[in-house]
Amino acid sequence: MIWELSRHQHLVTLAKAYRLTGEGRYAQELFRQWYDWNDQNPYGIGINWASSLEVAFRSLSWLWIWHLLNGCSVMPEHFSFHLRRALALNARHISRFYPPTFLQTPICLVRE
């Protein structure tokens, strides 16, 4: 469950809801959860930084969020900066720790 929630695919759903309806409450909830997750999971510390694959999944979700929230009227003033900075840290983490150091099963190699 930890991995699934920290992939932030549910935030993409909130971004889609905002894009389709224009209702700011969806985007506001997305921003609240995104900032809360980042506050609770500082770069490089904890289980959500243990797998480069999981960091990559999270990055893909964040890229979709960035695209879907383009022009969002309720976006916090510095969200774009914070998101770009977080994506840069994710990219740094992935490049630093790829390939993963743990023994991989064939299915892990396919996912990578």
Instruction: Write down the pLDDT at residue 109.
Output: 47
- At 55, list the tokens: 């960091």
Q: C-alpha distances in angstroms, 112 versus 31, 54, 97, 107, 109?
A: 29, 10, 13, 9, 5
What is the chain's pLDDT, residue by residue, as a tens digit (112 residues)?
567 899 999 999 999 999 999 999 999 999 999 999 999 999 999 999 999 999 999 999 999 999 999 999 999 999 999 999 999 999 999 988 876 555 555 555 445 5
DSSP string across the chain: -HHHHHTTHHHHHHHHHHHHH--HHHHHHHHHHHHHHHHHS-TT-SGGGS-HHHHHHHHHHHHHHHHHTTT-TT--TTHHHHHHHHHHHHHHHHHHHPSPSSPPPHHHHHH-
Instruction: Write down the pLDDT at residue 48.
Output: 94
Instruction: Write down the pLDDT at residue 108.
Output: 54
Half-sphere exposure of 101 (CA within 13 A, CB side): 5
